[in-house]
């Protein structure tokens, strides 16, 4: 792979996928958004620099989830308002009914905002990842519901799906 090719963010694709999954399953998709001057939302509903928005087709008009922005019209307190959210300000998307969804790291937004400063102050410190490894477990241990997974010194095994009825 050519290191000079810049790869686009996967975040807008994941947001569209979760939105579609929620809609297909009769669930209500919500997004949590970090609010700053580039986010167009009703400020009176912002708490602690964040706002949670219902982005279902029933609650919005003209919903567009592009690679750069989420844009739609919605009613707030009975008044129709235009909403525009940069994709990199979406902190999470989830289904209201069961909480299933995906959170996005705040670091991706901060890194893009500070990219010019980072280039000027190039450091040799290692960049920490927001990803963590998951300990492996014996297959027998994973089949017992309620049993806590503990890391073992054995060779890693393939994960298995356990159906719980």
Q: Domains in the chain and their CATH numbers? A: 11-115 (2.30.30.220), 133-165 (no CATH)
pTM: 0.64
- CA dist 143 and 79 (Å) reads 52
What mean pLDDT do residues 46-69 have? 96
Q: What's the pLDDT score for residue 139? A: 45
- CA dist 39 and 46 (Å) reads 11
Q: What's the pLDDT score for residue 106? A: 76
With 0-12 CB in 10 A as exposed, 13-18 as middle and 19+ as buried, what is 33? buried
Contacts of 138 (CB under 8 A, 6+ apart): 152, 154, 157
pLDDT at 116 over 70: no
Any idea what DSSP says for residue 17? Answer: H
* pLDDT confidence tier of residue 117, bands split at 50, 70 and 90: very low
CA 57 to chain centre: 19
Please, what's the b/e burial string for 134-154 (b: 16 or more CB within 10 A of its CB; e: otherwise)?
Answer: eebbeeeebeeeeeeeeeeee
* pLDDT confidence tier of residue 158, bands split at 50, 70 and 90: low
Helix, strand, or coil (residue 3): coil
Helix, strand, or coil (residue 44): helix
- CA dist 49 and 39 (Å) reads 11
pLDDT at 50 over 50: yes
- CA dist 82 and 90 (Å) reads 17
Mean pLDDT of the chain: 78
């Amino acid at each position: 792979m050519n290191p000079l090719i810049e790869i686009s963010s996967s975040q807008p694709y994941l947001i569209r996928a979760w939105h579609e999954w929620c809609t297909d399953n009769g669930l209500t998709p919500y997004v949590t958004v970090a609010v700053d001057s580039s986010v167009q939302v009703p400020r009176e509903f912002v708490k602690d620099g964040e706002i949670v928005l219902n982005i279902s087709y029933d609650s919005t008009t003209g919903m567009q989830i592009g690679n750069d922005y989420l844009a739609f019209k919605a009613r707030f307190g009975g008044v129709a308002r235009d909403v525009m959210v940069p994709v990199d300000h979406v902190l999470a998307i989830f289904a209201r009914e069961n909480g299933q969804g995906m959170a996005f790291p705040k670091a991706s937004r901060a890194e893009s905002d500070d990219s010019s400063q980072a280039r000027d102050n190039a450091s040799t410190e290692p960049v920490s990842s927001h990803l963590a490894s998951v300990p492996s477990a014996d297959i027998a241990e994973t089949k017992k519901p309620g049993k806590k997974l503990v890391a073992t010194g054995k060779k890693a095994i393939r994960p298995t799906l356990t159906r719980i009825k």
